[in-house]
Amino acid sequence: MTPFLDRALDTAPESLLTPRTAVTVVLLAVLALLPVYTMLTGDAFVLTLFTRILILAIGAVSLNLIMGYGGMVSFGHAVYLGIGGYAVGILAKEGIGSGLVQWPVAIAVSAFYALIVGALSLRTRGVYFIMITLAFAQMIYYVAVGLDRYGGDDGLTIYRRSQFGNLIDLNNKTLFYYLCFALLLASIYLVSRLVNSRFGLVIRGARSNERRMRAIGFPTFRYKLTCFVIAGALCGLAGALLANHTNFISPALMHWTRSGDLIVMVVLGGLGSLFGPLIGAVTFPLLEEGLSRLTEYPDLILGPALLLVAIYLHGGIEGLLQGRRRG
């Protein structure tokens, strides 16, 4: 675990006791012990809330891979939550309850969608890229609205969670929570390996200076597309988890404001940092919840706060803890 943490936190062993490391370790410890708290107090709400947070964190980790490391600002990332969710929901309704079928399908369809959208959108950049990813996501949104057999606008209730035989029972809330937690850690580990590999350096190089990358001999397009597909697949998995968590899917899952939420989580937590998306995914809903108790218009505070983060804290919360102002 230690070498992984070193790499993950990008620090030398002697500087392990930075505020950033401390916060990350405490956060992970709290998340690991949360079900114990629920067991002791019987407060199931917190467990449900944090299961959702962990799932969205996987989505944020996935978005951070393309946006933070690859510079590809996708404004349609929630669509994968929808695709993954509908894969589970539709298969369940059609009588295919096995998670060993549902989840791979959720991942594969998400990857395929990413391949098509990426192949078209990655030829553009900047605002055009943002608009194309948004347009495709809206298209899928309206496709889902039109799926009368699967509830259309009203959504679809999933009566049975994905079946994994004797392997794991997803109806057990504690087990499901730990499964989400394990998959989140696995996805962070995956990203930490990816971004430091040869592949990852190509992606990061292309974000930094694509023209130079091409001049030194990299066909950047195919690498960015691959990265886009990996991120899509990962977020598709998050969608499958989300459907199992809520036992319900609807087009609202992939409304463009959901995509906006994911971007906010990543920017708030820290673009291009390994644990930033998790920090953002935890902070954002808690901030929303806390502010809505203080005022009737939480967005009035949240909006300007995000603006300040975007302008002054390029490394987000994660960067602030590290003592880094400009990323």
Partner 1 sequence: MARPLLQIEGLTKRFGGVVTTDAITLEIPAGECHAIIGPNGAGKTTLISLLAGELASQGGTIWFDGRNITSVPVYRRSMIGIARSFQITSLFPDFTALDNVALSMQAHRGHSFRFWHDARGDDELRKPALAALARVGLAERASVHVRKLSHGEQRQVEIAMALATQPRLLLLDEPMAGMGSEESAYMLGLLRQLKGGVTTLLIEHDMETVFTLADRITVMVYGRIIASGDPETIRADAGVRRAYLGDKQSEDRAERNG
- The reply on whether position 226 binds partner 1 by CB under 8 A is yes
Residues 198, 277: Cα–Cα separation, whole Å: 23
Piece in contact with partner 1 (CB under 8 A), picked from 56-64, 205-213, 258-266, 317-325: 205-213
Instruction: Pick one of 25, 96, 201, 301: the residue that binds partner 1 (CB under 8 A).
Output: 201
Helix (H, G, I), strand (E, B) or coil at 156: strand
Total binding residues for partner 1 by CB under 8 A? Answer: 26
Instruction: Pick one of 15, 172, 208, 295: the residue that binds partner 1 (CB under 8 A).
Output: 208
Cβ atoms of 315 and 324 closer than 8 Å: yes
- CB burial of 66-102 (b: ≥16 within 10 Å; e: otherwise) equals bbbbbbbbbbbbbbbbbbbbbbbbbbbbeeebebeeb
Question: Among 308, 222, 272, which Cα is nearest to 73's?
Answer: 272
Instruction: Pick one of 7, 93, 173, 314: the residue that binds partner 1 (CB under 8 A).
Output: 7
Residues in Cβ contact with 312 at an 8 Å cutoff, skipping those fewer than 6 apart? 325
Piece in contact with partner 1 (CB under 8 A), picked from 124-132, 144-152, 177-185, 201-209: 201-209
Instruction: Pick one of 40, 166, 211, 294: the residue that binds partner 1 (CB under 8 A).
Output: 211
For the bound state, the minimum distance from the C-beta of residue 225 to partner 1, rounded and expressed in Å, comes to 11
Instruction: Pick one of 33, 139, 175, 219: the residue that binds partner 1 (CB under 8 A).
Output: 219
Tokens standing for residue 315: 């490394």
- The reply on whether position 194 binds partner 1 by CB under 8 A is yes
Residues 266, 273: Cα–Cα separation, whole Å: 9
Instruction: Pick one of 215, 257, 293, 296: the residue that binds partner 1 (CB under 8 A).
Output: 215
For the bound state, the minimum distance from the C-beta of residue 62 to partner 1, rounded and expressed in Å, comes to 15
Instruction: Pick one of 4, 209, 289, 307: the residue that binds partner 1 (CB under 8 A).
Output: 209
Instruction: Pick one of 89, 151, 200, 251: the residue that binds partner 1 (CB under 8 A).
Output: 200
For the bound state, the minimum distance from the C-beta of residue 15 to partner 1, rounded and expressed in Å, comes to 16
Residue 157 belongs to what H/E stretch? strand 156-157
Q: Give the bridge partners for 248, in sequence order.
A: 157
Residues in Cβ contact with 23 at an 8 Å cutoff, skipping those fewer than 6 apart? 279, 321
In the bound state with partner 1, the residue whose beta carbon lies nearer, of 198 and 293, is 198
Residue 249 belongs to what H/E stretch? strand 248-249
Piece in contact with partner 1 (CB under 8 A), picked from 61-69, 219-227, 232-240, 314-322: 219-227
Residues 291, 306: Cα–Cα separation, whole Å: 14
**Residues at the interface with partner 1 (CB under 8 A):** 7, 193-194, 196-202, 204-205, 208-209, 211-220, 223, 226
